[in-house]
Every structure is written in C-alpha cells, then in structure tokens.
Structure 1
Amino acid sequence: MDAKSFSGLVSQALDNLPDEFLDLLENVEIVVEDYPSLRQRRGSKRNELLGLYEGVPLTERDTHYGLVLPDKITIFQKPIEAICRTDAEIIDQVEKTVRHEVAHHFGMTDVQLDEIEEGWSKEG
C-alpha cells in the first residue's frame, strides 16, 4: 500500500474515535513512519512494534505540566502490513493500533489494553 493511502487509513481511524476522546487529544502529534527507529524499538525486532505513544499520559500530568513539546503517536506502516494478508486486515489493524496508542495517552497500560483487546477479538 502506498504511504498516502496508509496515512488516509490512520486519519480515518482517528475520525472514527468518539468526539469525547478527540476533544482531549490536544498537543498530540500523530505521524506515520515505515519502521520504528532503533531508539523507538528498545530491544524489539523491526517488525514487532506496530505503534508507539511517546509522551506524558493525561493521568500523570499535574498542575506544573505545561510548555512542553507535543506528545507523539507513531503508527508503523511496514510492520502492520507484514502481519496482514489483505487490505481489510490492514484497515482493521490500523484501527486497533490507533485506538491502542490513543488509550496510552489517556493513561491505560498495556496490561489493561491486552484485556480489552482480548474482548474485542472474542466479539469479532
């Protein structure tokens, strides 16, 4: 899939989020990269990391939080494509990955998200 089409999927996934969440995504940069950098991988293999939230979750901010660089959510195109066989699977995985990384912005841990995502797979 070309980069423009993939970026469009990420934009669509963001548009599909409830307005209550979108309204709280202030000062968050959302980007698409082919692969994570060595720093972003932190010991993971090149194709293991599908997305990454870098920042201070809303639940950890206090009254002294301000004048900071934007939080950053990166969605990695090539690892997502590597685990998907069809365009429909790519669309589904982008949706899941965007929700997962946005949830980190709201303070959810990987353990909490694993439990929720397990429920999603049982529903679908």
Structure 2
Amino acid sequence: MVAISEHDFSEAVDDALDSLPDEIARAIAEANVVILIEEEPPPGENLLGLYEGIPLDRRSVFDGYAQPDRILVFRGPLQRVSRDRDHLVEQIRVTVLHELGHLFGMSEERLHELGWG
C-alpha cells in the first residue's frame, strides 16, 4: 500500500486531466460532469472508480435538465493496489481515463483494449 496526502492525490487526478488533448478536455468541460474523489466505494463494491450518468453518445436535446454526471475516483482502493508512488500515479491516470471513457460511451471491452482497464 502506498499512502499519499489528499492534496497529492488530487494533484495526480488533475495531472491526468491536464494530459488530455484540448478537444477532449473541451468536450468534458461542456458535458455537465463533475469529477470527485471519495475515500471508499459503496459497501460491498470492489471499485477504483465509477461513472454515474448518461454517456454523451446517448444524450438528447430532449432530455431536459439533468443533474451533472459524476465520476468518482476512490482513493483508498487505489492506494491499496499500488506498489509505489509512481505506480499509484499511473493507476490514478488509468482510472480517470477509464471513467472518462464511459462518459464517451466506451464499453469495458474497448477500455481494456486501450489499456485503460
């Protein structure tokens, strides 16, 4: 297990987002999505991250007002699965990309093919 401060964890999430191409970052900014860091997933769930919402490829102008989609990144499990700080930072990056992939409508299979699984 690797433990880092909440601040350093948040910075690693921000770094993952900052690494995205401009057009992807712009689409995320326009997507009505919030990215949150939670300490643990819901009880009984074995997750590093979670996307909750309507993927962009299934949205319609007829949907009306909706609460923001949420991407949750779980600090505790990510720290527990990591060998060292560099591995933790990479796992955070992969988790953020994985959950963003769901926002864009990508399947689990496709995310794994891309190495974001």
Same-fold call, TM cutoff 0.5: yes
1:62, CA displacement in angstroms?
A: 1.7
Q: Secondary structure in 2 aligned to 1:72?
A: strand
Superposition pairs of residues 45-124 of structure 1, within 5 angstroms: 48-117=46-115
Structure 1 residue runs without a partner (length 5+)? none
Q: Secondary structure in 2 aligned to 1:98?
A: helix
Residue equivalent to 1:8: 11
1:107, CA displacement in angstroms?
A: 0.3
Does residue 19 of structure 2 align to residue 19 of structure 1? no
1:8, CA displacement in angstroms?
A: 0.9
1:63, CA displacement in angstroms?
A: 2.4
Q: Distance in 2 between matches of 1:13 and 1:66?
A: 31
- Report the AA paired with residue 7 of structure 1: S
After TM superposition, the score normalised by the length of structure 2 is 0.89
Deviation digits for residues 62-110 of structure 1 (CA, Å, limit 9, x no counterpart): 2212311100001001101111010000111111111110010000011
Q: Secondary structure in 2 aligned to 1:24?
A: helix
Q: Give the RMSD, CA atoms, in angstroms.
A: 1.6
Q: Distance in 2 between matches of 1:108 and 1:65?
A: 21
Residue equivalent to 1:29: 34
Q: Which runs of 4+ in 1 moved over 3 A?
A: none
The share of aligned pairs that are identical, in percent, is 41
Q: Secondary structure in 2 aligned to 1:31?
A: strand
Q: Distance in 1 between matches of 2:106 and 2:64?
A: 21
1:116, CA displacement in angstroms?
A: 1.6
Q: Distance in 2 between matches of 1:114 and 1:56?
A: 21
Q: Secondary structure in 2 aligned to 1:64?
A: helix
